[in-house]
Amino acid sequence: MSKKVDSTRSSETQSPTVESGNQNATTSSDTSTSDRCDEPIDSSLELRPPLPPRPSLLERGNTAAGGSLRLSKRAARPQLQSQATTALSLADVHTANRLETSSPKSSPASRAVSRKPSLTPSAHQPSIAVSEVDDGASVRSVVPTIGTRLDGESTLGDLIEGAATPAFKALSAQIERANPFDAVLAEDDNLSTQMQHEFQNVESMNKDGQNEEALLNIWKAKLKHFFILSASGKPIYSRHGDDQLISNYIGVVQTLISFYQGAKDPLKGFTAGDARFVMLPKGPLNLVAVSRMGESDAQLRTQLESLYMQILSTLTLPSLERMFSNRPSTDLRRPLEGTDVLLDGLADGFTRGSPSTLLSALECLRLRKSHRKVVDETLLKVRSQNLLYGLIVAAGRLVSVVRPKKHSLHPGDLHLIFNMLFEAGSVKAGGGENWIPLCLPGFNNTGFLYMYVSFFSTSEGALSPEAERPSSAGKDDELAIVLISANKDSFFELRQMRADLVAQLEKNGSMAVIKTAIRKGHASCSDITPGTVLKHFLYKSRGNVQFTMPSFEPHFHGLIAKRKLMSLYHNLHDSIHSRTAHLKVQHTVAYDATALAWETPLFELYCVASSNASRAALVAGANKVVSWIRREEERVFIIGGAVF
């Protein structure tokens, strides 16, 4: 998306807008202030967010670019506001959708990528404008008056009526399933098979190039690609395929990028077929993501940012810039040697779908407040002189953190650390302890810090951590102590601190508590919100930059079901974070799930239920989650942490 679309944004308008991505047949949406959903909650709790400002549409004047897009929007919106109904003319959207894309079916779970007007130079073609109009016009939504009670039943009634096109009926015949995400429909089948092969490596080409075509087909079948190339077009990283195989394509990418850069109108993204291409220029590097998984530009860009952070973490910004200013044709592969594992780990995490990346937040191990306090105090007690950050990490979740008062931890940095510890096997596999120089770009992108890492398994019987050599222990019962210092000679000092820390934690029983908590894993959704229709949720506390979620089991079993769930979350996330529409609540119905996204200044909540769940039931579930969080806040989140 480039500036042209941005200028069409009439952001905080109260008018019901539907992010263009949700124009799919089965999507319903209503914009409202969050008060509506708040309402069933005890009003003494001051969760209610302030109302968003409401600048008039007309005041947000006609600034320069993007005439056709904006005009069409403005044509559509007044019409919307005048019609207070939630009726949803699905048929219209279907048609519009079909006109616009060649994809025969599109559902939120695996939708076609054309959901956003593409910003190739041809973006002003009539089809885009038409789609904008259709998009807007087809969604008639209620403009809630503040304080109106949520009349779930009646609005939902409307919805179903409006939705009852023959096609939808055909689909809903298949709705009644326990775990709809397990179901395999024709279009998903494609995804499933591709997903299974997604992480297999493309072999290298034979000497005679005989197998090139076969390899290219495998390569092209990947759902997602990441490329990093230097500004001069040298390949630096590709998730799939070796240099020989992809060099032609890197050349094409480079040509595209430099053509638009030359025109002072950098290319940010485009759609080709069912693939979305997103470019992110970063100093001397260009990063490119190609996705057929229906992620939004912003989400792909976040993923690219994260890859870039990994490169900075290896090299630091000044040294990266120095290399390229000395020699623009530098081959960065050499200085980055050995970090492919880390980049692959990140990339595959994105392909599998990571709530942490999606929400830019981290997850904590659920512990009683008093237990966490003991751990925090122990950390402070044994803190050694040169310590900057100390982390206890269990299976990718933070147990406790000790940090200086003036420095907080950047979630992006933590993500890099977690990726290194838990995705790339080298740290664990080496056994023993590690001393790793790394740059935490969120903390300071100019210099290195030194990270002491020690793993131990938490499986039953391993009371003495030293007795454990990491072997084939599963990811889920690993506990890592991570101590970070700015002093490269402090290994033995931190090692001593680790020993003291473990001894103390054993002594005061915290170790047992932590291990129990790790073994328990995530609570299931039905334990957290008993009696509701929810199957899964993500709750992000914005203030704490942390999120929590229930276990994927029993409803989302296996890679593909999880990925579908994550795709749904991506769509929800996209719709409330889109720059062209500021929704506060988004409700979608699809053949395999209903979902709700709810945003307030305090939190973002994404809930998923089976497709036959009523909206009221979904809202009730959401409220349950919110009140559960309120009770459990100091257990599921680290608030403050140990600060010195």
Does residue 491 belong to the site contacting another protein (CB under 8 A)?
Answer: yes
Residue span 390-429 as binding mask against another protein, x where in contact by CB under 8 A, dash where not: ------------------------------x---xxxx-x
Query: What is the rounded CA–CA span in Å between residue 6 and residue 63?
Result: 11
We find the least distance from the C-beta atom of residue 343 to another protein, in angstroms, to be: 12
Residue 438 interacts with another protein (CB under 8 A): yes or no: yes
Q: How many residues bind another protein (CB under 8 A)?
A: 39
Does residue 436 touch another protein according to CB under 8 A?
A: yes
Query: Least Å distance between CB 539 and another protein?
Result: 33
Q: Judge contact between 108 and 588, C-beta under 8 A.
A: yes
Could you give the 3-state DSSP secondary structure of residue 259?
helix
Q: Give the pairing of strands 642-643 and 397-403.
A: parallel
Is the CB of residue 116 less than 8 Å from the CB of residue 21? yes
Instruction: Dig out the tokens for 285 from the structure.
Output: 């590097």
Two structure tokens written together for 542 = 């914005």
d(CA 163, CA 140): 13
| CB contact burial 502-514 (16+ within 10 A = b; e otherwise) | bebbeeeebbebb
Residue 471 binds another protein, judged by CB under 8 A: yes
Q: Residue 220 Cβ, how far from another protein at the closest point, in Å? A: 21
Q: How far is the CB of 227 from another protein (least distance, A)?
A: 20
Among the candidate windows 116-124, 176-184, 434-442, 598-606, which touches another protein by CB under 8 A?
A: 434-442
Give the nearest distance from C-beta 436 to another protein in angstroms. Answer: 3
Does the footprint of another protein cover residue 220 (CB under 8 A)?
A: no
Neighbours of 138 (CB within 10 A): 22
CA distance 442 to 456: 28
**Any idea which residue has 């990418």 for tokens?**
253
Min dist CB 538 to another protein, Å, is 30
Say if CB 28 and CB 611 are below 8 A apart: no
Query: Which one of 157, 233, 284, 335 is in contact with another protein (CB under 8 A)?
Result: 335
Q: Which stretch binds another protein (CB under 8 A): 338-346, 352-360, 475-483, 618-626?
A: 338-346
Which residues, 6+ apart, have CB-to-CB distance to 246 below 8 Å? 219, 227, 235, 238, 240
The interface region with another protein, picked from 84-92, 262-270, 436-444, 516-524 by CB under 8 A, is 436-444
Q: Is position 462 an interface residue for another protein (rule: CB under 8 A)? A: no
Among 59, 186, 213, 334, binds another protein (CB under 8 A): 334
Closest approach of another protein to the CB of residue 467, in Å: 4
Cross-strand bridge partners of residue 635: none
Cα separation, 412 vs 425, whole angstroms = 20
Q: How far is the CB of 50 from another protein (least distance, A)?
A: 46
Instruction: Determine if 469 is a binding residue for another protein (CB under 8 A).
Output: yes
**H helix runs in 222-316, sequence order:** 243-262, 297-315
CB nearer another protein, residue 298 or residue 436 = 436
Strand partners, 586: 597
Please, what's the b/e burial string for 232-263 (b: 16 or more CB within 10 A of its CB; e: otherwise)? eebbbbbbbbbeebbeebbeebbebbbebeee
Site of interaction with another protein (CB under 8 A): 204, 314-315, 334-335, 337-338, 341-342, 420, 424-427, 429-438, 450-451, 464, 466-467, 469, 471, 488-489, 491-493, 495-496, 499
